[in-house]
Each structure stands twice: as structure tokens, then as C-alpha cells.
Structure 1
Amino acid sequence: MFPRAVRRHDGAPGKGSASSSTGKGADKSIRRWSASPSFWRKLLIGLVLIVLWEIAARWVDNDLLLPSASATARAWWESAISGELLARTGTSLWVLLRGYGLGVLCAFALTSLAMSSAVGRDLLSLLTGMFNPLPSIALLPLALLWFGLGTGSLLFVLVHSVLWPLSLSIFTGFESVSPTLRMIGRNYGLSGLRQVVWILTPAALPSVLSGLRVGWAFAWRTLIAAELVFGANTGAGGLGWYIYQNRNELYTDRVFAGLLTVILIGLLVEHLVFDTLARWTVRRWGMQSV
């Protein structure tokens, strides 16, 4: 009798582990299912907005002022098939990636210096107070004088648009890290840059991701605005120049197609990149609610 009890007891963990794995699978299914209503709600809202757009365009009845959603979709498809819209978009994204990457590196370097010394902290406070309120596009005339009509000017304004809000967000996250974690890092001999990499950055990851998201949005809209100015000066550029050129030629449906491309890229990056990073890191680790 006793051995049977032991056997029943020994089998319990197997059943428990099976039930726990089943529970994990069920949890994943529930999370996927719980995410789908939000997706469908957003899709429904988007469809309603498109219908309202179509109704407003037909009521105005002037394609020069407000092309319909169907006309915009047709112009977008024709430009995409011809390759012009894709080429312009690729040009803009390549410049954006370089400028955004440089801005992120500069922001981490500046905040690392601020966490290492009081002079660095004062420097960060002074620079962000001076330059964060300054619109990036306002620096474009200076950028044109310093770097000429080329990619260098675009990179300059992109770094400016990313650097200051991201530095503030990262520094705020670093400051909120528990002193206990910092003490643990010091006990393990971590200081300076090593403490920033191994202690502060993982602990402040929600603030870092938030800053990266804001910096991306600032960089994307700054690039489009800067390319509109470059289009007026050089006759070449990316997606902003595509919008500017078609505005001059009174192809309003293509202007809306360019604006639609800007919006779609923003939505894709927001949901496919930043939401995925948050789901793989801070949400999985319990640092942020779903």
C-alpha cells in the first residue's frame, strides 16, 4: 500500500509539470486572443475614418482640394508600381537610419558622461535646456551653410531631433534606478561605462524604450520637413521631395499618397519594431503592464 502511495506521489510532479506546460500554452493563447480585439477595434476605427474621408471628398467635389480615398489609393498604387514612390521612400529611410543611429549613440554617450561625474550632469542639464526646445527645422539654414546641399545637413538636423529628448528620457530612467542595484554593481566592481551597460540600462529599459520611440517620431517628421526644403533647393531627395514635387504640379492625389506613405511607415515601425521590443523585454520581464 505504501509503495502505491509513493508511486502516486511520484507521478504527481509529472502531472503538475504537464498541467503547468498546458497552462503556459493556454496563457499564450489567451494573450494572443486578448490582443486580437484591440487589433480589430483599431482596424474598424481606421475603416470608419476612411469612409468619412471618402464622404467628405465627395461632398467637397474638388479633387484639387481634397482627393477621395479611392483616388489616393489609386495614385499610391500607380506610384508604387512605377517604382518612384518606393525609390523615394528607400532614400528617406536610408538617411533616417543613419541619422537616428548617430543620435542614439550620442545620447547614450552624453548620458553616460552625466552619470559618471557632476560636470557631465551639469553639461547635460545645460545642453538639453538650451537645445531641446529648439525646433530641428530651425537649424536647417545653418546646416545648409555648414554642410552644404547634401546628406550631411539632413544628418545634422536628424541628430539634433533625436539627441535631446532621448538623452532626457534615458537620464530620467537612470536616475530612477534603485540605489540598491547601483550598490550591487559597485560591489561587483562595475563602475563608469560598465555600470551603465550592465546595471543602469537594463533597469531603466522602459524609459529607454520610451525615449527611443519619441526620438524615432521626432526624426521621421523632421526628415520629411527637411526634405521639403531640400526639394525647393536641390530638386532631389526622398519622400518629402516626392510630396513637394507633386504639390507644385498640382497632383493632390499623389501628395496625399505621399502623406499616406509617411503614416503607414510610422504605424509599421511603431507596432512591428517598438511594440515587439517592448513585448520581448519589459513586458515579458514584468517591468511594464501589457
Structure 2
Amino acid sequence: MLHTLRKKGVTKTIDDQIKIFSPLEKTVILCCNGFQTTDTHDALPMCEYFRSAYQKDYPLCEIVPVFLFEASVKKSHRKKLFEQRIENKIQEYHAKGYQIILSGYSFSCSLVAKMAYKHQDWISKVIFIAPIYDCVMNNMIPGYLKFASKYAKLKKKYGKKVSKAIGRQTVQGMPFLLINIFLSVLSNRKYIRKISQDVLLLRGTSDTMSSEHAIKQVQKRLRGHFTTCIYDNMTHTCVQSLRLNGILFEDIFHFAFNTPFYLQEEEVKKEEKEKNRIYQIFFELDPNCDDNTVAMEEQV
């Protein structure tokens, strides 16, 4: 049964059939990167937040970034290598005795679907963050080609030394990488309809890459149970900042490990503190004021 829950900054459509529980054995989230222009993994902020805020209380749980490619290494920009890298990590953590949760971001969601179907007995849950379903309708290919064009002009204008100096912020072999990303999405998205695990589906309302159309296409094809979270004003870079995207991180942790919502609890405490402060001000001005008076003033 589905029910919708609206909280500050997020709308959740929750499937009550999905069981959320604290792991009793070693459990890992393997996080695949999306398209990125640096050699720093997309999921690093999320991993660091988990380790600092949750790891002590959840010693059986881990979050591991999986590089499908390195931006600065052209030889890694191949569809088959994308698959081999995540396959190797799955094999590694299965051999270590871990329960495995797969997380895909952007284009890698379709690849994660393939691996979840291939290893149904090993993969317990699946997370899709801002999934890419169409590469043309959402302006993915034109947008990336525009970025590549700007970089090419910069390299031509300033030469190899400057381009090498800024290499960590750009991608060598952009067209080749884009072709392999495009092929990965097209060849693997069919597996979305084949996965049987519980799924967490995440998207920001300001995301033009993972469009509302893309989310509906994914939802329509999922045959199992899934929960959808839609975040106000988040863009396609929804995993790259604790300050901006912390509530999304905590939804992932809760789905995977049944963790508490620290940021949400902190926000509630701040609101209560502010309400008490306002009440105290009004009480000092008028000892006969009541909660309704304070509530009316807050609305103003």
C-alpha cells in the first residue's frame, strides 16, 4: 500500500511493503558514480557524512564508492570496463560475506539495474539517484557536447600547459566517453523491469537531466516495491553537498540501514526553540497571551 508523506523540502511516496530494519550482518552500499569531470567520486560527501555521524553506532555498515571510470584516464572510458568494475566490487564484497545494496547515480542507474538482476541472490536492495532514462529528450548528450566544445575552445586558446593544469576539472576524450555512456544507458535500461529487489527512487524538482518523464518511465517499469522521494529545488548534482543535500543522504541511510534522521531532528529542535523564544517575548509583553496568539504572529 502506498501513502504520501510531505515533510519540509521533500515529498515521499512510501510503499508500506518495504521493510526497513537495522542490519544484523555486514552490509555495504556500493555507490556507482555518474558522469563526472574530476577524479573525485560523486558519493564522497555522502560517505564522509556517514562515517562522521553514523559509523560509530552502525559498525556493521559501510558505504563504498565505486569508480566506473576516471575522468582523466581516457582508457577507462569504455562501457565494458564500467560493467567490469562494478562486477569486481560485487564479487569482492560477496566473498567477504557482505549483504550488498547497489546505488546508481545518473547514467549508472541502468547499469546497477543490470547487476541487480544478474546477482539477485546477492543484492538485497537498490537505490536510483536521479536516474537517466533518455539521453536525447533530457538534453543529456547536447548538454555534454556543449561542455566539451567550451573546453576545446579553451584548450585551443591557452594551449596544452593550461589545459593540463585544469585537467582535474575537465574530461579527456569527452566524445568517446559520451558514446559509451549513451550505449550503457540504452543497453542496460531494459533491466529496470527485471529487478525484484526493493527500490529507493530519488530526484530533485529542479533536475533537468533526470526529468519527471524519466522518473515516470522508471516507475512504470519497476515490478517490485519502491519508494519515491522528490526533493524541492534540488538539481542533478544532488549528491555533492552535505549542506544542500543532507536530507537526501539521510533518506538513503535510513532505507539501507534504518538510521535516524539527525538533520530533520535538528531542524525540528530549531523550530521548537524559535517558537519558545517568540512565546517568551509575547509572554513578557502580555502575560495573558496564549498559543493561538503566538501561532497567528508566526504566520504573519
What TM-score comes out, normalization by structure 2 length? 0.26
Larger radius of gyration: 1
The structure in which a higher percent of residues are strand is 2
